């Protein structure tokens, strides 16, 4: 009986559809783009002004705060401080 219950649970877990993560946790602002093919999120903006500048002129876009932004204190990849290496 226990084997049957475990087998049913395993089948239910495998058969359940999995959804991909739509938000990138590395950026605080996302642009929601609506198109004929469907809608998607572009999460690669550091500020709302940057997102709105990119969205201007594009129909069917909306800038919003990323609800899954990782508040770890790290900077997005485009804002990482690059220091020159010291030559020995």
Contact 61, 53 (CB under 8 A): no
Q: Would you list the domain boundaries of the chain?
A: 18-70
3 compared with 49, residue with greater pLDDT:
49
How large is the greatest C-alpha to C-alpha distance in the chain, in angstroms?
70
How many whole angstroms separate alpha carbon 49 and alpha carbon 28?
12
Instruction: Give pLDDT, residue 49.
Output: 92
What is the structure's pLDDT at 8? 66
Q: How confident is the model at residue 71 (pLDDT cuts 50, 70, 90)?
A: low
Average pLDDT, integer, range 26-50: 88
């Amino acid at each position: 009986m226990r084997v049957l219950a475990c087998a049913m649970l395993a089948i239910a877990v495998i058969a359940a559809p999995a959804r991909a993560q739509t938000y990138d946790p590395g950026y605080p602002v996302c642009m929601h783009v609506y198109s004929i093919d469907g809608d998607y999120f572009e999460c690669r903006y550091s500020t709302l002004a940057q997102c709105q500048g990119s969205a201007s002129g594009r129909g069917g876009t909306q800038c919003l705060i990323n609800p899954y932004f990782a508040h770890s204190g790290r900077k997005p990849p485009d804002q990482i401080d690059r220091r020159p290496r010291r030559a020995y």
